[in-house]
């Protein structure tokens, strides 16, 4: 019976280690998903340009500069998940939250 006690302790330590490393990997994966990528930036800029409509067609260089600058600031100020939560809100609330960004 005494030998089985050590076996239980070893199994508990091994299981604890596996749970700990699994949680660490999950947290690390979530952090990676929080980071903005160049693909995210390109997507946001293209969306901004397309939503500019006629203004984007009349003033393509100015629109491109505006979209790049504004989305670079957004990406510095918000995490990706914060931004995704922001865009779910009504337009008025989005403006209140994002307007003070410098």
Q: Where are the alpha helices (DSSP H) in 1-102?
A: 2-34, 38-51, 54-58, 60-77, 80-86, 91-98
Name the pLDDT band for 100 (thresholds 50, 70, 90): confident
Those residues with Cβ within 8 angstroms of residue 68's Cβ, 6 or more apart along the chain or in another chain: 45
Q: What is the pLDDT of residues 51-97, one digit of tens each?
A: 999 998 899 999 999 999 999 999 999 999 999 999 999 999 988 88
Percentage of residues in the chain having pLDDT higher than 90: 52
Supply the pTM of this predicted model: 0.61
* More reliable by pLDDT, 11 or 73: 73
> Average pLDDT in the 36-52 region?
93
Those residues with Cβ within 8 angstroms of residue 102's Cβ, 6 or more apart along the chain or in another chain: 73
Break the chain into its structural domains and give their ranges.
1-34, 38-98
């Amino acid at each position: 019976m005494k030998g089985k006690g050590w076996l239980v302790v070893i199994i508990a330590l091994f299981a604890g280690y596996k749970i700990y490393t699994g949680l660490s990997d999950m947290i690390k994966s979530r952090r990676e998903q929080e980071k903005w990528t160049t693909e995210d930036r390109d997507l946001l800029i293209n969306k901004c340009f397309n939503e500019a409509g006629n203004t984007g067609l009349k003033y393509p260089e100015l629109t491109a500069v505006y979209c790049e600058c504004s989305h670079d600031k957004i990406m510095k100020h918000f995490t990706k998940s914060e931004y995704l939560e922001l865009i779910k809100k009504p337009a008025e609330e989005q403006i209140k939250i994002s307007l003070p960004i410098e």
